[in-house]
Structure 1
């Protein structure tokens, strides 16, 4: 049951229009409503809140201090409602919608290019993909599943391994001065781009190579791997990124391998979900498609 002091959408729209236009008459015209309807909505809203939202001065509406404060939140509520409506309309006639939380770079560089095949196979299912770097609470966030690295997905159920977490060092060909690779030792003399949420990657790289890692934190720092990749393309430094994230740039010659070595980490990328998600036929089909895609690519990989 809605509390007695909660405004209706009509009251909020009338109030915001009055704030914008400065008069009931002009607000009514902008909303395609009668003047009496807008006046009644405004009076009901002020009565619910117990404070005057406007001062009436010579047929003009001058916002009170309370009105100016309330206007910021009221406009934000209406904007969020409009945004939610447009998002829902975008699904069109799709019967089933799956909500996924996915690491941003994995969503852009691995998942999105493969969804064409899924859409062809399952035209009735829409995916609502949200970028999430942090933890996902399935009970409160409303997601059907998430794609995380295994370590970050600790405690989640229903895991399906998708891809190994394997990193490569890449750089702009211009930064390497035409060399095919820089070589392990030469990397210590180049700017090394940092990934803010995984700051120990270069440390692990140099430790595995048996090299001095004391000077590794001297490059630009970015929050996401996709940003690191763009920095490397621009020639800002050497990037240490998942190999799936730079397939396109390597093929196009925008980046080249700065070292032939790969760094294989222990936590793979996984699809995780609560048990209840498998009760939804749409999600069960999506999971089977993902599993089949991963198996097919593993079989055909060189």
Structure 2
């Protein structure tokens, strides 16, 4: 078996504490250990690595060149290990953990407000949700499923379209005033909020109107549709956003649909499953719940 040079956690903690405090006695107090235990861990680490990490100067420990080079990485390793442990502790009581990557605006505006319903139907499944705009590499990442637009499915996955994407124009009620709808000309008199990751949406909207396309590209740029929706509600301008994202804000009266016309993009929100999730009870339970929510 190949000899390992991997430090133990105790060795890393002893090294970092000694580097920060300057003596094994103070490091032992900070770690709630004996001074001999800290000295032993430090000696074992230096012997394992074959290099002196400290210079002993007047009963003080001063980092050597090798120690200075190692300190940042050692601290990072301990920090990452602590974060990973705390993250796993969040799933205490769950027999399974379902990790999913979801488009940010879809997650905030549609999925998360409904997830309490899934938790009631499957309390044994813990959820780990990350916002994602880019495609998921299911081979390299510990992700069980994704909800993306249809162009984001990687090879070797199964895609199931769940909702057609339909865009609407929304504005703050006070920006509309007494008007119930805006004409194309009235739209161009207002700031058109731009979605920076999909910069051609307004050009697509005005494609057949004969206007100067430069007029359709003037307005604040924001990363996500939910940011655009917040900016619309604040009166910064009008937004062109998926109806499913705007629905809740429209129902609450924060924004109003500003035109009768809608734009169907031809894309869908899709549930994307890697092969390993096709037989996963947790992934299939979520899929069944999701389809019920969409249908209902």
TM-score, normalised to structure 2, is 0.92
Cα separation, partners in 2 of 1:229 and 1:52, compared to 1, 3 Å:
farther
Matches within 5 A, 1:1-302: 4-153=4-153, 155=155, 157-207=157-207, 211-296=211-296
Cα separation, partners in 2 of 1:20 and 1:208, compared to 1, 3 Å:
farther
Report Cα offsets for 1:277-298 as digits up to 9, x if no partner: 12122222221221222222xx
> RMSD over aligned Cα, in angstroms?
2.0
Cα separation, partners in 2 of 1:185 and 1:65, compared to 1, 3 Å:
farther
Check the 8 A contact 2:150/2:267 in 1, yes or no. yes
Cα separation, partners in 2 of 1:71 and 1:232, compared to 1, 3 Å:
farther
Check the 8 A contact 2:24/2:38 in 1, yes or no. yes
Name the SS for the 1:28 alignment partner.
helix
Cα separation, partners in 2 of 1:54 and 1:171, compared to 1, 3 Å:
farther
Of stretches 198-207 and 62-71 in structure 1, the one that deviates more from structure 2 is: 62-71
Deviation of 1:8 after TM superposition, in Å, equals 1.4
Distance 2:47 2:61 in 1: 17
Name the SS for the 1:215 alignment partner.
helix
Of stretches 258-267 and 167-176 in structure 1, the one that deviates more from structure 2 is: 167-176
Distance 1:215 1:3 in 2: 67
Check the 8 A contact 2:156/2:275 in 1, yes or no. no
Report Cα offsets for 1:175-209 as digits up to 9, x if no partner: 34553333222111221111121111111111155
Deviation of 1:61 after TM superposition, in Å, equals 2.2
Unaligned runs of 5+ in 1: 297-302
Check the 8 A contact 1:169/1:258 in 2, yes or no. yes
Distance 2:239 2:143 in 1: 32
Distance 2:196 2:55 in 1: 51
Check the 8 A contact 1:185/1:211 in 2, yes or no. no
Unaligned runs of 5+ in 2: none
Deviation of 1:213 after TM superposition, in Å, equals 2.4
Report Cα offsets for 1:249-296 as digits up to 9, x if no partner: 223332222322211111100001122212122222221221222222
Check the 8 A contact 1:160/1:291 in 2, yes or no. no
- Number of residues of Structure 1 aligned to a counterpart in Structure 2: 296
Distance 2:231 2:44 in 1: 55
Deviation of 1:174 after TM superposition, in Å, equals 3.5
TM-score, normalised to structure 1, is 0.90
